[in-house]
Chains A and B, each alone.
Chain A
């Protein structure tokens, strides 16, 4: 954790830290404290007076059937996005890592979607699956399948899940590829000489050795599905139809910005913070065991 040889200077380290610490205090610690404070207070309609109400906001949020519905949507959404994007990325990475011609070209062609914004990914999907103008959206209707994700709950959820997963595959692909390249070839060759087939080698050697990568990506993807997909949902469905595609983060925005319910929105923010801190803690416990910091 510490270098042996260091510089002696009293004021300089504080000066170097000052900008980062200032931004952190003003835009991270202070707002987080505010969210905590607001989450246990009730404000009147004009924001002039507020009263300490303890856990009332939390109780109100957690007993609201709408909120619980949102929790359920978020779980379905996050699990689907995580599983879909992890599985397809792993499959593609394993293939692109094998001795195959044009592997480098495939890699480049699969990596670039990392650059797309979640909202842009959503818009691209809209161009394809819009029932009026999209090629596939119209094709589905022409085939007699009533496709309109703007009206049908299940179709809307499918649409945001697919668009959000599509965007995340390249990120997972990059990490799986790096993980695969770190696996010693000699181990795989030894197994091959012992007569293990490709499928067996994958499940007994490659997959277990990839588990740190997989676990890391699992946490990253859940965090992605929870927060960064706000753009996907906002661009594609606005949480609708009804509340069919409203996730927790979308609801914080909806309640805080659109409906001006500060106490409720803050309580929701605090709940989200607890979830994120728990996820990060799990991740670091795991990383600590794997990576040795000197």
Chain B
């Protein structure tokens, strides 16, 4: 249980095994529920409902995924086809991630590279949003969105979540490290503020943008309370909400096979993004919270 990196001497073979065993146990605790879910998605509803789910794959995989993906009717419950819900989740995650990055990078640029009246007022106003997670002001924000007629729309799902103090602060911090000489050189060359932004600042920010994208994509994909309030029609449901709606009150006699297939599909995009972009994402996560 203790760090052992400074001592080259080892305390015997058994002691060397203990860290591996603990780490493997940790990995197992995280992997086991996923394994069971993947296995469950290859069996029929009756086998799962009886509570005798084997730990080896069954033969219903293609049926289950095809049915969950495109049909709206299982054997026992109705559901929105997963392809529609996945599309909604994808739109939501992409618009939130790209939108947050876009409006944050330009506002950070304004705060860092210009001096103008009320600059600090704006800065603090953005900063305050850091303190108000959407969950806290959920009912009044819902009312604003309802009054604007944005219920059941992509705009209602995404725009209220698009302001980002964290991203703005991250970009601003990074912009403050861009050397003055670079700005001076650009000015001597006759480049204006916009030209400098496009030709110098954007390319320099690539890594930061990629890292933020991963974090914000996952943030958007995993939203729960907000889409729960904003979407009423089945066509606008996101996939995370869809899963819990399919489960309902969790009786044994439900389409567990389809629910498990849907869960696997719902996990795939964010997990893929994290695994494929691991290095950027870890760096970005740690940097953005500094």
Contact = CB atoms under 8 A, between A and B. Distances in A.
| A, B assembled together | yes
Contacts of B266: 117, 120
21 contacts: A3-B112, A3-B180, A9-B193, A21-B107, A21-B122, A23-B103, A28-B129, A94-B3, A99-B5, A111-B282, A112-B275, A116-B270, A119-B222, A128-B32, A133-B51, A227-B136, A230-B225, A252-B139, A253-B225, A256-B139, A277-B131
A193 to B, nearest CB: 9
Contacts of A256: 138-139
Given A32-B140, A109-B27, A120-B263, 5 more contacts: A7-B187, A16-B106, A112-B30, A166-B29, A202-B2
Interface stretch (B58-66, B70-78, B160-168): B160-168
Contacts of A31: 137, 140-141, 143-144
Contacts of A2: 115
Q: How large is the interface on A (under 10, 10 to 19, 20 to 34, 35 or more residues)?
A: 35 or more
Contacts, number: 311
A12 interface: yes
Contact of B36 (A127, A216, A276): A127
A110 interface: yes
Nearest to A280: B131
A264 to B, nearest CB: 10
A55 B2 CA distance: 52
A31 to B, nearest CB: 4
A21 B126 contact: yes
Contacts of B1: 91, 94-95
A150 B137 contact: no
Interface in B142-194: 142-145, 159-160, 162-163, 168, 175-176, 180, 183-184, 187, 192-194
A52 B19 CA distance: 62
Interface in B238-288: 240-241, 243-244, 247, 250-252, 256, 259-260, 263, 266-267, 270-271, 273-275, 278, 282, 285-286
Contact of B224 (A7, A118, A273): A118
A29 B133 CA distance: 12
Nearest to B50: A133
A27 B127 CA distance: 14
B91 interface: no
Interface of A: 2-7, 9-10, 12-14, 16-17, 19-21, 23-32, 34-35, 38, 88, 91-92, 94-101, 106, 108-120, 123-128, 130, 132-135, 138, 150, 166, 169-170, 174-175, 178, 180, 185, 188-189, 191-192, 198-199, 201-202, 206, 216, 220, 223, 227-228, 230-231, 234-235, 249, 252-253, 256-257, 262, 265-266, 269, 272-273, 276-277, 280, 291, 294
A100 B109 CA distance: 44
B193 A99 contact: no
Interface of B: 1-7, 19-20, 22-23, 26-27, 29-34, 36-37, 40, 48-49, 51, 53, 102-104, 106-107, 109-116, 119, 122, 125-126, 128-133, 135-145, 159-160, 162-163, 168, 175-176, 180, 183-184, 187, 192-194, 196, 218, 221-225, 228-229, 240-241, 243-244, 247, 250-252, 256, 259-260, 263, 266-267, 270-271, 273-275, 278, 282, 285-286, 289-290
B5 A119 contact: no
Contact of B282 (A92, A99, A127, A178): A178
Nearest to B214: A115
Nearest to A94: B3
Contact of B243 (A100, A120, A135, A175): A120
B2 A174 contact: no
B135 A13 contact: no
Contacts of B27: 106, 109-110
A115 B270 contact: yes
Nearest to B193: A7
B252 A13 contact: no
A54 B52 CA distance: 59
B247 A126 contact: yes
B64 to A, nearest CB: 14
A110 B285 contact: no
B130 A280 contact: yes
Nearest to A202: B2
Contact of B6 (A111, A185, A199, A249): A185
A201 B110 contact: no
Contact of A189 (B6, B103, B139, B247): B6
Top 3 closest pairs, chain A to chain B, by CB? A231-B224, A117-B222, A31-B140
Contacts of B187: 5, 7
Contact of B53 (A25, A91, A135): A135
A124 B139 contact: no
A119 B240 contact: yes
A6 B184 CA distance: 9
B138 A123 contact: no
Given A7-B193, A234-B228, A95 B22 contact: yes
Nearest to B285: A174
Contacts of A169: 30
A108 B194 CA distance: 40
A6 B162 contact: no
A12 B144 CA distance: 29
B139 A262 contact: yes
